[in-house]
Amino acid sequence: MTSVPGIVAVVVVALATLAIGTWGLRVSRTTSDFLVASRSVGPRLNASAIGGEYLSAASFLGVAGLVLTFGADMLWYPIGWTAGYLVLLVLVAAPLRRSGAYTLPDFAEARFGSRHVRSVCSVLVVAIGLLYLYPQFQGAGLTLRSAVGAPTWVGPVIVGAVVLANVTSGGMRSITFVQAFQYWLKLWALLLPAAVLVAVWFSDGRPGAASSLAGAPVGDWSAPLASGGGQGLYVTYSLIVATFLGTMGLPHVVVRFYTNPDGRAARRTTLVVLALLGLFYLLPPVYGALGRAYAAELAAAGRSDVLVLELPRLMVPGLLGDALTGLVTAGAFAAFLSTSSGLCIAVAGVLSQDVTGRPWRGRRLAGVTAFRLGAVVAVVVPTLMALAAPHVGVARAVGLAFAVAASTFCPLLLLGIWWRGLTAAGAVAGLAVGGLGSGAAVLATLTAAAPAGWPSVLLEQPAAWSVPLAFATMVGVSLATRSRVPAHAGRFMVRLHTPEALDLDRG
């Protein structure tokens, strides 16, 4: 039976996740516990949790498959996802924590004193969150089909159920422990098989790329640029812009910063995250390169996403191969669970504050109940999307989420934190221009509406033009409405940038 290791792995990871989550439930009592783990998580635990949450299906499965198919230019994805944290650390981490807000809409409301900006941000958080959740659920379906031969609807349903059970029972506090565990699980689930596989490769006499590989010549494959001359250069740089700047705008990344005790801890946490991500991303290219030699037919068949899952069995026969397959399946399943949980918390947090927690016909749900209701919505909607449309590219949807985040929340955060003169009108205009521009571009790509050549390239990777456009709009409109700079903007700058040790009036 080839499906046994996969089934065992999925069951063990699901049970371990539920067990740790239940243990976390015993210490989760208040709404603050649910949303931000009562802001008492130390840098190392928090960094593991952030790493566990951030390394999604795209990192665990996608990168190796992309490298196998397209070559070295795909290495820019993991670089961008890591460097995004450096940009976040340098420009956003400490001030964001010091702002004292729960979620991105909270930040916007505190900065501008405007319910209007808050609503726009809430819509964007939910949109980006659902966009990012959908490929996770869809990837879970692909994984379970590859690992145990289950129908594609099984994966989304199992992941949705486990996430819902965990998030609604313990919220952020229990999820912190779960995700820290899942980072280390994912790391070892790639590291151990990679070590064995590299040893096998050496003992096989270090074979090169299989000659049967259809497609580009080897030289093109190892070039770190998308092919196509000037267009390739544009695509690569646009990808860099989207990933370097988009990370700070992902809702599940941002919400994590509020769990740090203070701004200093937020910085140190981010630094540890950088190291943890760098460590992890050394591994997927190894699978991609080995796949070149041993599993080239996967790329030809368009199934490169399952490379990480199938490579151990292709290279190592017998029981050891089965055991390694079980390990990578466990890691992949952990990737779906942790990222989905984090996104679910972020989306549920926003929904509970702005939708489910609002008074409704004179009645109002309690904080924790509203949060749970928000979590149900945040899980059920993308599950239904994954069941209804299981064939939209996983990496594409994730790329779309990054591009939209980079074109909306990145300018909002950067200008909001560093420029006193940003007004509510400027923020809304920039969010609208960036969100509509990048969103329309990727919708056009998904529906293949654009003509080939430059128009198609510009729409496929919109970040390089949509991000500057959003910045320019925010600055321009803010300057035009200069008289409406919020009165408390100066006080808010004090709050964002001064160390907590100083006894200052922070508004």
What residues line the site for other proteins (CB under 8 A)?
Answer: 72, 75-76, 79, 82-83, 85-87, 89-91, 94, 219, 222-225, 232-233, 236-237, 240, 264, 267-268, 270-271, 274-275, 277-279, 281-282, 285, 289, 418, 490-491, 493-494, 497-499, 501-505
Nearer to other proteins, 44 or 497 (CB): 497
Nearer to other proteins, 120 or 412 (CB): 412
> Minimal distance in Å, beta carbon 463 to other proteins?
14
Measured torsion, CA atoms of residues 476, 482, 487, 489, in degrees rounded to the nearest 10: 30
CA 292/CA 210 separation, integer angstroms: 6
Nearer to other proteins, 45 or 271 (CB): 271
> Minimal distance in Å, beta carbon 274 to other proteins?
5
Nearer to other proteins, 12 or 493 (CB): 493
> Minimal distance in Å, beta carbon 129 to other proteins?
26
> Minimal distance in Å, beta carbon 39 to other proteins?
20
291-308 in b/e form (b: 16+ CB < 10 A) is: bbbbbbebbeeebbbbbb
> Minimal distance in Å, beta carbon 92 to other proteins?
10
What token pair was written down for 9? Answer: 């792995």
> Minimal distance in Å, beta carbon 240 to other proteins?
7
Nearer to other proteins, 129 or 263 (CB): 263
Angle between helices 318-354 and 367-388 (to 10 degrees): 130
Nearer to other proteins, 153 or 418 (CB): 418
Nearer to other proteins, 100 or 278 (CB): 278
Q: What angle do CA 240, 404, 368 make, to 5 degrees?
A: 125
Residues 382, 392: contact at Cβ < 8 Å?
no
Helices (H) and strands (E) in the chain, counts: 24, 0
Nearer to other proteins, 59 or 174 (CB): 59
DSSP per residue, 100-112: T-SSHHHHHHHHH
| Residue in this structure with the two tokens 């540890």, named with its chain if needed | 272
> Minimal distance in Å, beta carbon 33 to other proteins?
28
Closest CA to 232 of 454, 403, 437: 454
Q: What angle do CA 146, 149, 151 make, to 5 degrees?
A: 105
Nearer to other proteins, 277 or 350 (CB): 277
How would you write 325-388 as a 3-class SS string?
HHHHHHHHHHHHHHHHHHHHHHHHHHHHHHCCCCCECCECCCHHHHHHHHHHHHHHHHHHHHHH
> Minimal distance in Å, beta carbon 222 to other proteins?
5
CA 277/CA 287 separation, integer angstroms: 17
> Minimal distance in Å, beta carbon 263 to other proteins?
8
CA 266/CA 261 separation, integer angstroms: 8
